[in-house]
Structure 1
Amino acid sequence: MKNMNIQVKGTIAPGYGVASGKGGDSRFPQGTIEMQKPFFQELGLDLSPYFSGTLNISIHPHRYRVKSFKYTFINVKWSSIQPAEDFSFADCRILFNDSSFEGLIYYPHPDTKPDHFQAADILEVIAPKIDGLKYGDELILECDRTQIDIVIVKKFWKY
């Protein structure tokens, strides 16, 4: 990853469990990431070094703004029971317990995603399995500032 990085504190938050298959959705017993991996591989993105699931990282009170993605795949028909979706990926790094883990921000485009939407402060990250990481743990998420921008949400009060 380039040296143009931005860091933000994040907290591991529970997700739907659909990406990993742990959520009990009978449509995706192995998880959506495992099902999608061969399609992304064919398009030039090898996800084999990564765990077949996503980390849901809350960056509250911040939000992210996409600038440009490293990879974007349009109209990916990865499931016979789901409509085709658009996906994008951006570089990131997770800093946790004095270790660093290269990963990718996983962004299924909301306009083509049929369900399981994320809150505006949640980034889904694909990374290697990180031993000891659990819900509520804090970490540092480092992003390539040419791909993702992190902004703080300011509340304005009306009188």
Structure 2
Amino acid sequence: MKVNAVVCQGHGVASGKAKDPRYPDGTLKAQCEHFLQKGLDLNQYFLGTINLDIAPYIFKIKKPKHFLENVNWSKYIPLENFYFFDVSLQFKGSTYKGLIYMPDPTTKAEHFQNPTILELLLPKIEGLKYGDVVMLEVIDEQIELIDTPSTD
């Protein structure tokens, strides 16, 4: 399925922009070695997420490409599970392939997301900024995007 999405500002903890003293280089950098030990190599991606608002759509997890259980990546929070789904993003005539990064809401300790927000791991995309409209493509068998009726 393909939908338009808007680039929006996230919490800044994945990349380290939030200046959280627990994760000075960002949570993704702290998580990468633990993901690699469980068989998922993220070295090809920028160590920060692109947050996309897919409203009026929400998502439903179906069959992730990767599901990593009980990742002990931080001494500050309990073990977490993570979902990853294939994704493509189109911006200014180019297509970028990557993963949707989703900490399992049932094990996530903090920094919760709105149900219309997806976090993407992609190579660095020059010129991409908050407010840009992009085309997002997901694999329906992995994650379903559901159109929610407007309340207007």
Q: State the TM-score, normalizing by the size of structure 2.
A: 0.97
CA RMSD of superposed structures (Å): 1.2
Counterpart pick for 1:34 among 5, 29, 32: 29
Distance 1:79 1:156 in 2: 40
Count how many residue pairs are aligned between Structure 1 and Structure 2: 152
Equivalent position of 1:149 in the other structure: 144
Instruction: Measure, in 2, the Cα distance between the counterparts of 1:68 and 1:133.
Output: 29
Q: Identify which of 95, 99, 104 aligns with 1:104.
A: 99
CA displacement, residues 73-131 of structure 1 (integer Å, 9 cap, x when unaligned): 11100012221100010000110010011110111011111100000100011111100
Gaps of 5+ in 1: 1-5
Misfit runs of 4+, over 2 Å:
none
- Identical columns (%): 43
Instruction: Classify 1:132/1:155 alpha carbon distance in 2 versus 1 (closer, same or farther; 3 Å).
Output: closer
Quick one: distance in 1 between partners of 2:47 and 2:86? 17
| Cα drift, residue 134 of structure 1 | 0.5
The AA in structure 2 aligned to 1:148 is I
Structure ID, larger Rg: 1
Task: Give 1:47 deviation, angstroms.
Answer: 0.1
Alignment partners' CA distance in 2, 1:156 and 1:131? 36
Cα distance, 1:155 vs structure 2: 4.6
Q: TM-score by structure 1 length?
A: 0.92
Structure 2 partner of 1:7: 2
Partners of 2:128 and 2:103 lie apart in 1 by: 24
